[in-house]
A = this chain, B = another copy of it.
Amino acid sequence: MAKSNETQGYLIAPDPGAARLTRPVRGIDQNGQPVDTSVVEERPLTIFLNSQEIVTAMTIGDYPDYLALGFLRNQGMLHTEDVITGVDYDDDLETVVVRTEVETSYEDKLKKKTRTSGCAVGTVFGDMMEGLENVRLPATPVRTSWLYGLAHQINRTPSLYLEAGAIHGSVLCQENRPLVYMEDVGRHNAVDKIAGWMLSERAEAADKILYTTGRLTSEMVIKTAMMGIPVLASRSGFTAWGVEIAREVGLTLIGRMRGQRFICLAGEDRLERDMDPADAPVEEKKHKRKSAE
């Protein structure tokens, strides 16, 4: 497929025309007239770490291997020292198995927990916070011209969002260039797929910016920090705890980035204000995201 202007420069861009990702659905509108809309798919995907079943995620179904790897990495279940020997996706069983050379410390811990307290359901969150203790992100400078340029280009990139809506997007960027644009029904999945790509490609994190359409909650901030990315920007709002964690780990946090406006919640000293906000492109109505919610 020839790349359009908007997708030039991307290593991975959305493929809104892919047959598996959307389905036509017929509804009836307020006047009783039939309406055919293109609607995003949602499929269960069960992730295993070796023989241990971890979670069933609801996903659009592209890049299951990246999703599995990124999920395990961002939850702190897979560490840098774990040698990955295989990632096996089974389309029929809707499963991905991530295999490591030796049993991971997570599996080992899980066995102990199972022995002592019956089971370890629900420990996922505690484990995430644990992995965060020693994270201090590099003080990478960010130019405001990059942020404005990224938001403008990403909003105009053909995507499942523009095609069908009801979906979240996350984009891994470097300076003013969007590199990897992932979408999914869950905003966390989109970020996890980027984490999986970074792990597979052994991509540098310190010079990257993560842009997301979703809210800046604690979980989103924790994931970004776990990935080692020092800048997180979103067009949506933020929670108090998301801001608090960003300040603790040294993450530059930008919220409510729409057209010429944004709010910097953490890492203000790293912002290089090289562009007059009045010169930033105004959002065209058709590229405003209504709400994936």
Contact = CB atoms under 8 A, between A and B. Distances in A.
A269 to B, nearest CB: 10
A5 to B, nearest CB: 27
A17 B219 CA distance: 25
Contact of A23 (B126, B240, B261, B293): B240
Interface in A207-221: 213-219
Contact of A56 (B40, B55, B125, B237): B125
Contact of A218 (B29, B42, B271): B42
Contact of A291 (B23, B263, B293): B293
A166 B121 contact: no
Interface residues of A, number: 79
Given A125-B44, A217-B42, A293-B293, A166 B239 contact: yes
Interface string A205-246: 000000001111111000000000000000111111111000
Nearest to A128: B56
B122 A55 contact: yes
Interface of A: 22-23, 25, 27-32, 35, 37, 39-44, 46-47, 51-56, 58, 110-111, 114, 117-126, 144, 164-166, 168, 185, 187, 213-219, 235-243, 255, 260-265, 268, 271, 273, 277, 280, 289-293
Given A31-B277, A165-B237, A289-B293, 11 more contacts: A22-B240, A30-B262, A30-B277, A37-B263, A39-B240, A39-B243, A56-B125, A58-B219, A166-B238, A185-B217, A291-B291
